[in-house]
Amino acid sequence: MPVSNTHRFLAAACPFIACCLFSMSTISLADERDQAKRMHDRIAGVPPSPAVLDDMAADILAGNAEDAAFTAMENTAFYDVTLKNLAAPWTNEAMTKFVPLNDYTATVIGLVRDDADFRTVLYGNVLYEADASLGLSGYSIQNNNHYEELENGGYSLKDNLVFVNQSTRNGIPAEATAGVMTSRAAAQAFMIDGTNRALFRFTVLNHLCDDMEQLNDTSLPSDRIRQDVSRSPGGDSRIFLNSCIGCHNGMDPLTQAFAYYNFEYDVDTDPEGVNGRMVYNDVGMIDTFTQSRVQKKYRINANNFEYGYVTEDDRWDNNWRQGRNQLLGWDGTLPGTGNGAKTMAQELAHSEAFASCQVKKVFNNVCLRNPVDEQDRNRIEVITSNFKASGYKLKQVFADSATYCMGE
Amino acid sequence: MNSMKFKTNSSKASLPSNAYFNAAQSFVKLRLAYALVITLSIFLSACGADSGAENLTKQNNNQADANSSDYKGPAAFSDDAQNFKRSLWDNIVLPGRCVECHSSDTENQSPLFADFANVNTAYTAANTIVNLNDPATSRMITKVENGHNCWLTSDSACVDILVRYIENWAGDSAGAATEIKLRAPQIKDPGATKTFPEDSSAFNTIIYEPILSKYCQTCHVEGIQTPYIASADIETAYNAAKSRIDLEVPAGSRLVGRLRNEFHNCWDGNCTTSSAEMEAAISTFVEGLTTESVDPDLVNSKALTLIGDGLVANAGGRFEDNIIALYEFKEGEGEDGLNITANDTSGIEPALNLSLSGNAEWVGGWGIKIGPAMTDPETNALLRNGKAQGSTSASAKLHDRIKATGEYTIETWVVPNNVSQEDARIITYSGSSESRNFTLSQSLYNYEVLHRSSTTDQNAVFATADADERLQASLQHVVVTFAPGQGRKIYVNGQFTGDVDPAEAGNFSEWDNSFAFVLGNETDGNSLWQGTIRMVAIHDRALNEAQITQNFEVGVGEKFFLLFSISHLIDSDDPNTADDFIVFQASQMDSFSYLFTEPYFISLNANPSLNNIPLKGLRLGINGKIAEVAQSFQTVDMVLDNSLYTNETGQPISRLGTLISLQKGGSEDEFFLSFEEIGSFTNVIVNAVPPSPAAPANSPAEPEIGLKTFDEVNASMSVMTGVASTDTKVKNTFDKVKQQLPSIENIGGFLSAHQMAITQLAIQYCDALVENTSLRSGFFPGFDFNENANTAFDTEGRDLIINPLLSKFIGSSLTSQPADADVITELNNLMDTLTSCANTTSCDAQRTGTTVKATCAAVLGSATTLVQ
């Protein structure tokens, strides 16, 4: 029967739907079966089969809620739905989930599945692609077809993602790879046009859970702020001294790590860069504008403030190791300075903020809410400790969060 | 020359500036006994004149033909004397100027450099008071600079005009860059100052408790909005507030300005009282502080003020051979704050002075700011859109000169307020919004040039390319040239934009001499441009690329060299001689800050002894304290050494520049340098560890349950029904309703639109389930889908449908799910409704399937699927 014929019956069905919705919203207590169902729903996004429900309930009853959580993570929907939609907003400036599967998302999923050190998501020579046995179009640095075919085919991401060294696919040297930051999706979203500051900002936003506004600290030295930042926007230098400087003094010397990267595309025929590609100026490759490896985008609008910083290389420095952003918890074993995206990304990924951010995101994803009180905040700290102790395995965070939020 | 000036009579205010000027000329004619009737009373006072009569003669170029033609004395006895006459003398013998006193036939005051009886006498006298190699240092100039009888309201305008006359006399040296000779300033220590006390208790009781914690705690606390000036932790709040409190000028505190000028979340709905309350609290706080000497731990240079101690660094070098109107806006608002005239200091008569009106104000560092109509916060008067406009008769100078040459250049330094304004006239010579001779305007990121020529109408538009985004909301040098055969060209920051004039280059035969020259708006006031104009020059020739680059590189605004003495810190030769300096070029950036750039070390001793002298952690200080923000040189870590030093250029320290917030003004703010290490002196600065943030306040409890989002709903339905999500119909429906399904889990965000999408998808899944004989027999084992609807749903048939739905969609023994009995009741009611058919036609087997689909969808599309 055509669907439209069935619409006649909706009027009769809808009161029932609303009734159930109302009645369920008042529920607050749960026994082990309800706890298992909630845990599975939250982790996998789908209801458990009766057998899995029984198994998880038994684990919970036996005091092994964590085992139950790991059981839920066996469901492919954990990868196909939960992790995909957790990571999808990180891959675009609009931060929407409504984007096709891409190499950034797939890499996040793969790292979680393989219990990898999740910090490498930012700096590893890592990429996950579809198993060749599926017969899909191969990975391309110039389009996203490979991943869209994988998603549209309904293939299990749990079963069909395979690890490869990113450098073997996107043509940049292994030492220039920086996990998802040098994925094609990130390049298309954040390296397109502009000054590459977007790549830094969104990485910090998505993986340290702070936007530039929260990190604003006007007390730091301003020597690395580039020439393109007007010191008197609209003729009012107060704006610079009170606002702009507080972000750029930290952001610009860190974003210098991306000085050799760009996203090339045909602005006339392909304005969204669907067929564009990330490029990297390796040793010996000279940009005609800068006469160095530095991309032109790092020298644009130089007359906005001619006495600003001129980028000569990809040396980065973390000014946030001074001032109030010390509280982000930088790794004391790292030097806080270096060259290139990989080491800068490692600086970010090895911070306390990175670890706690992953926990907050997963907590929110599983508990469907933010931490609201001291008990929640203490739990976040415990889960973060467990995350680190586990070798930064994100599944552990899902397990701990799901256990905490499975209900009483 | 005595101090009298022409008194303003009642007619002056009503006369346009050119009429005033021309009336002055007419007075001289009277003085010289030429037949001319004037009707207004005249008061004579030195170098100024006023009468109400319109004069007859139009001035030409920078030569006062009307007067020089009256000259009856001997001819100039040399070429240089002739140059003097043409360039300087002809202009200063204009009525109301120097001739009123410094001439043998007037007051006969020495020196007689404006002697109208004998130009050679004047030439000889002038040579004693001018420096042709450096006109700006001439005695004639410094005298006027110090207030000696300027014929305009602005001494600086007279100075600029006289300098230009002398430069023209100097000939080849005119316009050439001059070398600035550095000399030691007066040596003085940084003054005493007030500093923030270690103890936060005064801040707590005076500012924090009564204001910050009361009014700002909703936002400015940890986890919400920086700065955390209202943090529950008083130390955090104190540290955050310090950089926003000005101990020297409480009204200049950011905490006050944010309320008073930017209307940022004022309390009680009144920003005037809110800002006054904040200012009063800060003033009370400041009054309680004792003035203390500069922190003795600091290692400091000697101190300087910008205007008192700075060496003027404007070395000239602009190409201005064909300039016909020039505005540098040096006048400022004047001591009485009432000046509304921007003088044309080109020296080309008649002066095309501009009157500021509406929301147009002077800005520090030379410039005017044009703003939109507003109510004056002090007077409550309504100010119209700002502009600066010249009279039509004086503006005709542009018409006459440009029409004669057939070329022009519009040159300006501007700071657009934003990149969102359109049809915004920056500089225009026009009659109305529809008619013009030329216009430079802004359209978003583009500069536009409209002009009228024999080959165009009067609004021919030519703009920079959209994609180039040439226009930025920062200080930019913009030049438009027009020349026959080349058409219009636009240069931004010294670079040709590459845009090609679409109109054929014509001539200006169609130009109208009745138009007015206006900045920041159209003549009708309706095409406002918002921004700051730092300089405008009109040339009657098209500057070439080299000349444009030359002018761009000279820059704009008043610049100084500040020589910070460090002789007491290093020993390059004789420690008792103050000849070792760190030199900054400094200027006022705008009304709110100073710009310090390109520091270098230099010794005024020709042969300093520099032997690896460490220099580290250079910071700028102002009024006894290290500036809190924008220390761009604190990362300096170098040595001063003879191997890196030359007598000519010293040793560069940095090519960077930075800003320091203006506090009291260029005459009063006192600057100094501080060092972490210099020579044998050190002041180790340890990075402070920030206090741990206070725990955020508890938030209201949030719901423990939430919605499944779009993919979760889809995947759940697939799992529950066994229908693949890749099923063509299902996928098509999902793709269609995907963005109508919930995208976030928040159950408070549930909308009826979500339910409609869920229902559509549920129906599609149930349809796919029931239409697939294999799937449905597995899901509903034993149910006969071929039986008519009026018999298929007997008790047994209903059980065969309802029980699988209960077990597979709702689950068993789950207290969080609806009770089975409730669901069964609802589904029975539904099936009763759907199967109440009267005959076999309407109750055929197709209806049986339909009923199952509807029953399936009722459960699948319910909260059992949606809620998690």
Q: Beta partners for B529?
A: none
- Lowest average pLDDT, out of A88-102, A200-214, A245-259, B59-73, goes to B59-73
Of the partner residues B225, B473, B661, the one whose CB lies closest to the CB of residue A234: B473
Radius of gyration, alpha carbons of chain A: 24
Name the pLDDT band for A19 (thresholds 50, 70, 90): very low
Distances (CA, A) of B44 to B13, B24, B105: 17, 10, 15
Which DSSP category does B292 fall into? B
- Give the DSSP letter string of B227-268: S-TT-SSHHHHHHHHHTT--SS-GGG-HHHHHHHTT--S-GG
| pLDDT for residue B688 | 82
Q: Given this model, what pLDDT does residue B1 score?
A: 32
Give yes or no for residue B477 having a pLDDT over 60.
yes
Whole-Å CA distances, B826 to A61, B658, B707, B773, B819: 33, 74, 23, 26, 11
The predicted-structure confidence for B716-729, as pLDDT tens digits, reads as follows 999 999 999 999 99
| Whether B257 and A221 lie within 8 Å, measured CB to CB | no
What is the predicted pLDDT for the residue at B55? 32
Neighbours of A128 (CB within 10 A): 24
Q: Please count the other Cβ atoms lying within 10 Å of the Cβ belonging to residue B252.
A: 18
Closest residue on chain A to B588 (Cα):
A237
d(CA B245, CA B368): 28
pLDDT (mean) for B384-392: 95
Residues 686-705 of B with CB under 8 A from A: 687, 689-690, 692-693, 695, 698-705
For B29, B70, B525, B609, the CA distances from B34, given in Å and listed in that order, are 5, 9, 43, 71
Q: Which two tokens stand for residue B563?
A: 């020589």
Helix (H, G, I), strand (E, B) or coil at B282: helix
pLDDT at B741: 94
Mean pLDDT (chain B) is 85
Of the two residues B838 and B457, the one the predictor is more confident about is B457
Query: Chain A 149-188, CB below 8 Å of chain B: which residues?
Result: 152-154
Q: Which residues of B touch A306 (CB under 8 A)?
A: 657
CA-CA distance, B246 to B263, in Å (whole number)? 19
* pLDDT over 80 (residue B224): no
Cα distance between residue A302 and residue A304, in whole Å? 5
Asked if A234 lies within 8 A of B476 by C-beta distance, the reply is no
Q: Which residue has the tokens 């943030």?
A: B693
d(CA B42, CA B53): 11
Instruction: Compute the count of residue pairs across chains A and B with CB atoms less than 8 Å apart.
Output: 296
pLDDT tier for residue B258 given thresholds of 50, 70 and 90: confident
Answer with the residue of higher pLDDT: B848 or B87: B848
* Cβ neighbours for A288, distance < 8 A, ≥ 6 positions apart: none
- Nearest CB to B759; choose among A10, A24, A45: A10
Q: Please, where are the H alpha helices in B288-325?
A: 306-309
To the nearest whole angstrom, how far is the Cα of A284 from the nearest Cα of chain B? 27
Bond preceding residue A271 cis, omega within 30 of 0: no
Burial A279-310, CB ≥16 within 10 A → b, else e: bbbeeeeebeebebbbbebbbbbebbbbbbbe
Main-chain dihedrals φ then ψ at residue B626, nearest 5 degrees: -70, 130
And the tokens for B326?
């020039």
Confidence of residue B173 (pLDDT cuts 50, 70, 90): very low
Apex CA B390: angle with CA B387 and CA B392, to 5°?
130
User: Tens digit of pLDDT for each residue in B650-678?
Assistant: 999 999 999 999 988 887 899 999 999 99
Q: Is the pLDDT of residue B48 over 70?
A: no
Report residue A49 CA to chain centroid gap: 31
The residue ranking higher by pLDDT, A291 or B814, is A291
Cβ atoms within 10 Å of B852's Cβ, excluding its own: 27
For residue A16, which residues of chain B lie inside 8 Å, CB to CB? 826-827, 830, 858, 862
Does position B59 have pLDDT exceeding 70, yes or no?
A: no
CA distance B688 to A321: 11
Q: What is the DSSP letter of B364?
A: T
The most distant pair of C-alpha atoms in chain A lies apart, rounded to whole Å, by 73
- Rounded Cα gap, residues A38 and B776, in angstroms: 28
Three-class SS of residue B275?
A: helix
The DSSP string of B177-232 is --PPPP------PPPPB----S--HHHIIIIIIIIIHHHSTTTSSTTT-SS-TT-S
* Alpha-helical runs (H) found in B105-154: 119-126, 139-145
**B-contacting residues in A 258-287 (Cβ below 8 Å):** 267
8 Å CB contact of B593 and A47:
no
- Mean pLDDT of chain A, nearest integer: 92
Percent of chain B exceeding pLDDT 70 equals: 89
Identify whether the C-beta of residue A245 lies closer than 8 Å to the C-beta of residue A222: yes
Cβ atoms < 10 Å from Cβ of B480 = 24
Mean pLDDT for B758-784 is: 95
Q: Are A24 and B705 in contact (CB under 8 A)?
A: yes
Average pLDDT of the residues in B401-428: 95
**What is the reported pLDDT for B575?**
60
Strand boundaries in B485-579, DSSP class E: 487-492, 495-496, 516-519, 531-539, 559-565
Q: Is the pLDDT of residue B6 over 90?
A: no
Q: Is the pLDDT of residue A250 over 90?
A: yes
Average pLDDT (B796-804) is: 93
Q: Is the pLDDT of residue B20 over 80?
A: no
Q: Which of residues 215-254 of A touch B (CB under 8 A)?
A: 216, 218-219, 221-223, 225, 230-238, 240-242, 245-246
Question: Using CA atoms, how far apart are residues B7 and B9, in angstroms rounded to an integer?
Answer: 6
Residue-wise pLDDT for B261-297, tens only, equals 778 889 988 888 999 999 999 999 999 888 778 888 9
Cis peptide leading into residue B350 (ω within 30°): yes
Query: Is B535:B410 a contact under the CB 8 Å cutoff?
Result: no
Q: Are B818 and A20 in contact (CB under 8 A)?
A: yes
Residue of A nearest to B716 (CA): A46
Gap between the Cα atoms of B313 and B563, Å rounded: 12
What was the pLDDT predicted at B176? 56
Contacts of B710 in chain A (CB under 8 A): 97
B residues 835..864 contacting A (CB < 8 A): 846, 849-850, 853-854, 857-858, 861-864
Give pLDDT tens digits for A102-147. Answer: 999 999 999 999 999 999 999 999 999 999 999 999 999 999 999 9
Give residue-wise pLDDT tens across range A317-370.
999 999 999 999 999 999 999 999 999 999 999 999 999 999 999 999 999 999
Task: Check pLDDT > 70 for residue B563.
Answer: yes
Instruction: Please give the model's pTM, rounded to 2 decimal places.
Output: 0.80
Contact call for residues A287 and A233 (beta carbons, < 8 A): no
Which residue is it, tokens 């199952």? B852
Three-state secondary structure along chain A?
CCHHHHHHHHHHHHHHHHHHHHHHCCCCCCCHHHHHHHHHHHHHCCCCCHHHHHHHHHHHHCCCHHHHHHHHCCCCHHHHHHHHHHHHHHHCCCCCCCCCCCHHHHHHHHHHHCCCCCCHHHHCCCEEEECHHHCCCCCCCCCCHHHHHHHHCCCCHHHHEEEECCHHHHCCCHHHCCHHHHCHHHHHHHHECCCCHHHHHHHHHHHCCCCHHHHCCCCCCCCCCECCCCCCHHHCHHHHHHHHHHHHHHHHHHHHHHCCEEEECCCCCCCCCCCCEEEECCCCCCECCCCECCCHHHCCCHHHCCCCECCCCCEEECHHHCHHHHHHCCCCCCCCEEECHHHHHHHHHCCHHHHHHHHHHHHHHHHCCCCCCHHHHHHHHHHHHHHHHCCCCHHHHHHHHHHHCCCC
Question: Which residue, among B474, B532, B595, would best test binding to A if mutated, counting the most A CBs under 10 Å from its CB?
Answer: B474
The pLDDT of residue B179:
67
Dihedral sign of CA atoms A340, A345, A346, A347 in order: positive
Give kind and range of the element (H or E) at residue B638: strand B637-640
Residue whose entry in the numeric block shows the structure tokens 């940095």: B654
Q: Is the pLDDT of residue B306 over 70?
A: yes
Q: In sequence order, what are the residues at sequence separation of 6 or more whose Cβ sits closer than 8 angstroms to the Cβ of residue B708?
A: A41, A45, B716, B742, B745, B865, B866, B867, B868
Residue B861 is which amino acid?
A: G
The residue that leads in pLDDT, B4 or B536, is B536
- pLDDT tens across B101-159, in order? 899 888 888 899 999 888 888 988 898 898 887 788 888 988 888 788 888 878 888 88
Torsion angles phi and psi, residue A338, rounded to 5: 170, -170
What per-residue confidence (pLDDT) applies to B548? Answer: 96
Instruction: Find the helix packing angle between A50-61 and A32-44, rounded to 10°.
Output: 120
Task: Report the pLDDT value the prediction gives residue A177, as an integer from 0 to 100.
Answer: 98
Beta carbons of B818 and A23 less than 8 Å apart: yes
B67 pLDDT higher than 60: no
pLDDT band at B164 (very low <50, low <70, confident <90, very high): confident
pLDDT tens for B679-725 read 999 998 888 888 888 888 888 888 888 999 999 999 999 999 999 99
Give the residue from B223, B708, B240 showing the smallest Cα distance to A356: B223
pLDDT, one tens digit per residue, over B455-469 is 877 677 899 999 889
Task: Say what the pLDDT of residue B335 is.
Answer: 65
Instruction: Residue B296: count other Cβ atoms within 10 Å of its Cβ.
Output: 8
% of chain A exceeding 90 in pLDDT: 91
CA–centroid distance for B178 within its chain: 31
Confidence label for B865 from pLDDT (cuts 50, 70 and 90): confident
Q: Hey, is B838 helix, strand or coil? A: coil
Mean pLDDT in residue range B28-53: 31
* pLDDT the model gives residue B69: 63
- pLDDT recorded at residue B424: 96
Q: Which phi-psi region, left, alpha or beta, contains residue B365 (left: φ > 0; alpha: ψ -120 to 50)?
A: left
Residue with tokens 């920003």: B271
Supply the pLDDT for residue B318.
85
Q: How far apart are CA A178 and CA A257, in angstroms?
A: 11
- Window from A187-196, B65-74, B533-542 with minimum mean pLDDT: B65-74
Please list every residue in chain B whose beta carbon sits closer than 8 Å to the beta carbon of residue A240: 659
